[in-house]
Amino acid sequence: GNSAFASCFYLTKIEMPDSVTHLGSGVFNSCSRLKTLRLSDNLEVLPNDMFSAVDPGKSSMTEITLPLRLKTIGSNALNGRDLKTIYIPGNVETIAKRAFGGFTGTIYFNGNAPSFDPQFFNSGMTIYYPDNNSTWDSVVAQYANQGVTWIAHEVIGCNSGHDFENGICTRCGEK
C-alpha cells in the first residue's frame, strides 16, 4: 500500500518477487540507505513519489534498471535519489513531470520514444536513445535546447552488457 516501507532508514536491499504487480504512492519515502533494489518484472507502473523525501547526497543507490514490462513512470517516482544511471526498457509509454526530480546523470532508452511531460527534462542530463528510430526525431528536436545532451546509439541488446537470467537478458529482454 501507500508508504508501505516509508522511513525504513536501515533498509539497504530489496529483492522484490515477481508476484508483486502494484506499489503504492510513497512506498520507499525516506529510505535513504537503500542501495540495491530489484523491482518485480511484473510492475507496469512506478508510482508517484516512490522515493521522495530523500535528501540529495544522502542516497546510496547509484544505478537502477527498470522492469521490462514497465509502461508508466509517475511524477517524482525517483526524486531524491543520487542515481547516476537509469536504464529504461522499450515498453515505457509515459514519463510524468519531474519523474526523476533533479536528476543530471545518464539515461539509456530502448525502443520507441515515450510520451514525456515537458518538466521531465533537467539541464545536465545525458540521454542515449535508439539510432534509426524515427519516434525520437520530434522529441530530440522539441527538447534540444533544454540543456540535455542527446546521443543516438545503436541498440544491440542492452546498453551496458547483458545480464542473462533463464536465457533472457534482464535489462533488454533479448534472448
pLDDT digits (tens, 9 = 90+) for 34-56: 888 889 999 999 999 887 755 55
The predicted structure's pLDDT at residue 174: 57
The predicted structure's pLDDT at residue 84: 85
- Residue 122's pLDDT band, with cuts at 50, 70 and 90, is confident
The predicted structure's pLDDT at residue 12: 85
Question: What are the cell numbers at 103?
Answer: 536528476
φ, ψ of residue 139 to 5 degrees: the values are -65, -50
The helix or strand, by DSSP H or E, that contains position 37, with its residue range, turns out to be: strand 36-38
Distance CA 152, CA 11 (A): 37
Lowest mean pLDDT among 7-16, 124-133, 163-172: 163-172
Report the mean per-residue pLDDT for the chain.
82
Cβ–Cβ under 8 Å, residues 127 and 148: yes
3-state SS, residue 105: coil
Cβ–Cβ under 8 Å, residues 44 and 72: yes
Question: What are the cell numbers at 102?
Answer: 533533479
* Mean pLDDT, rounded, for 118-135: 89
Name which residue leads in pLDDT, 152 or 162: 152
Cβ–Cβ under 8 Å, residues 145 and 123: no
Q: Which residue has the cell 543530471?
A: 104
Distance CA 36, CA 109 (A): 21
Q: What percent of the chain has pLDDT over 70?
A: 82
Lowest mean pLDDT among 16-25, 54-63, 76-85, 113-122: 54-63
Parallel/antiparallel/unpaired status of strands 63-65 and 36-38: unpaired
Judged against a pLDDT cut of 60, whether residue 112 lies above it is answered with yes
pTM of the complete model = 0.83
Q: Which residue has the cell 527498470?
A: 66
Name which residue leads in pLDDT, 93 or 80: 93
Q: Where are the alpha helices (DSSP H) in 24-154?
A: 137-142
Judged against a pLDDT cut of 90, whether residue 164 lies above it is answered with no
